Amino acid sequence: MRTDAAECDDEGPRMTGPITSLKMLGVSEAATPPVSQSPVRYRYSMAVAVRKDLVDVHRHAWEHIASPGSWWTGAQRVRIAEIALGAINADDPLPPWVGLSSSDRYSDDGVIPSTAVDITYRIARHAGTITESVYESVTTDVGELPYVELCTVVSMVAAVSTFHRNAGLETPALPTPKRGEPTGERPDKLAAAELNWVPVSAPADQVAAVVQAYTAVPSGHEVTWRLGAAQYMPSEEMVHPDWVRRADGLTRPEAELIAARVAQLRECFY
Amino acid sequence: MLSWSSEHNGDTVDLGSIASGEGLVGEHAEVLWRFASACGQRDDAELAAARQAVVDAVDEAFMVDAAAVAANFEMMTRLADSTGSRLSPSHVEQMALTAGAMGVADTVSRR
């Protein structure tokens, strides 16, 4: 990466875990170079200048994933991220009705429950097929708040990995998990929402469904919206149809065109 | 958001163009639609070509911004679908019009 945008060639931790072959997750190793066993390097193989705020927020998301969450350890969160990354990059993905844990692509070592393995893969690759009955079934096993945290990890992985692919860059390797127990952090008060299946920080339904969706897991909510601010626009600017990040940058309708097309391809019609 | 921001900027958008790529409005709309389409699909050669088309049409920083927006909606679609996010009742009628224009009934999932 050219250094006019950011100084970001520091080494980070290494990817670990039993998923030692991308083929285990249905990924063609020849066609999909993003995941590597080498140290995290924000030094890109192509000469593409990336804004420093993007580099910083993506690196922060990776570090966040490696840290203990509210309900999952760092090792569990990195495992969720590995599965998500494999699902996103799979050239021959499992169909949504086949659980990764019951396939020959995954070796279950008990780091996360099989229900979490399967829903991680499905959200990462087939999110449009998640229904309320799926949600209810999964949360009976893993719990509502751990489920929300799992969703935050999967969606962050989608953001970071697809940005790099879109821009023609190598996705940084996943980080080494940090030690520590889950924090148990939660909002002072939770509420059932009319606009979401998941519980949210009280009071519910005072903001848009997507804005409140992750509020039951405060740290995941915060990092998600930091990503959104750098990748799309700061939330406080969304009411301004003329907002642009910089002169000669994307106009608001241009950004919305991209957003609408990606959402349409993902069959997400929120 | 697309209709609203476009109307504010003096354009009327046919939401069917999001699915078809035809009748797009805006100076860079065609290259951005091609790029967004490639970002959301699996053809690496087409993605490389579409990426270069954006760079050629504007510049590299513009392409990076576009890549980031596409990535953001890879995040947001998973957020919305996994948490059962839905529009408030006051927006449902508008959503129905949008969904019809974008061909929701023809999609695989069509929940």
Write down the mean pLDDT value for chain A: 86
Residue-wise pLDDT tens digits, B19-78: 888 889 889 999 999 999 999 998 999 999 999 999 999 999 999 999 999 999 999 999
At A149, is the secondary structure helix, strand, or coil?
A: helix
Any CB–CB contact under 8 A between B56 and chain A?
no
The shortest C-alpha distance from B62 to chain A (Å) reads 6
Domain count, chain B: 1
Q: Which residues of B45-77 are buried (b: 16+ CB within 10 A; e: fewer)?
A: eebeebbebbbeebebbbbbbbbbbbbbbbbbb
- Tell me the CA distances in angstroms from A222 to A60, A61, A195, A226, B63, one per residue in order: 11, 10, 20, 6, 26
Greater pLDDT, A16 or A237: A237
> Inter-chain contact A231–B68, Cβ cutoff 8 Å?
yes
Distance, in Å, from the CA atom of A155 to the CA atom of A119, rounded to the nearest integer, reads 13
Residue B111 lies in a domain: no
Query: In which domain, by residue range, is B26 found?
Result: 2-106
Contacts of B89 by beta carbon, 8 Å cutoff, 6+ apart: none
> Inter-chain contact B77–A261, Cβ cutoff 8 Å?
no
Residue in B closest to A226 by C-alpha: B72
CA dihedral A51, A52, A57, A63 (to 10 degrees): 130
Alpha carbons within 13 angstroms on the beta-carbon side of residue A130 total 31
- Tell me the CA distances in angstroms from A264 to A57, A171, B22, B25, B50, one per residue in order: 26, 24, 15, 18, 18
Using alpha carbons only, what angle is made at residue B91 by residues B88 and B94, rounded to the nearest 5 degrees?
155
Residue-wise pLDDT tens digits, A141-199: 999 999 999 999 999 999 999 999 999 999 999 999 999 999 999 999 999 999 999 99
The answer to whether the CB of A145 falls within 8 A of the CB of A216 is yes
- Full-model pTM: 0.84
Considering only CB atoms, A261 lies closest to which of B40, B51, B71, namely B40
Residue B89 lies in a domain: yes
Residue-wise pLDDT tens digits, A75-85: 999 999 999 99
β-strand pairing of A200-201 with A190-191: antiparallel
> Inter-chain contact A261–B36, Cβ cutoff 8 Å?
yes
- Tell me the CA distances in angstroms from A42 to A60, A142, A170, A171, one per residue in order: 12, 34, 9, 9
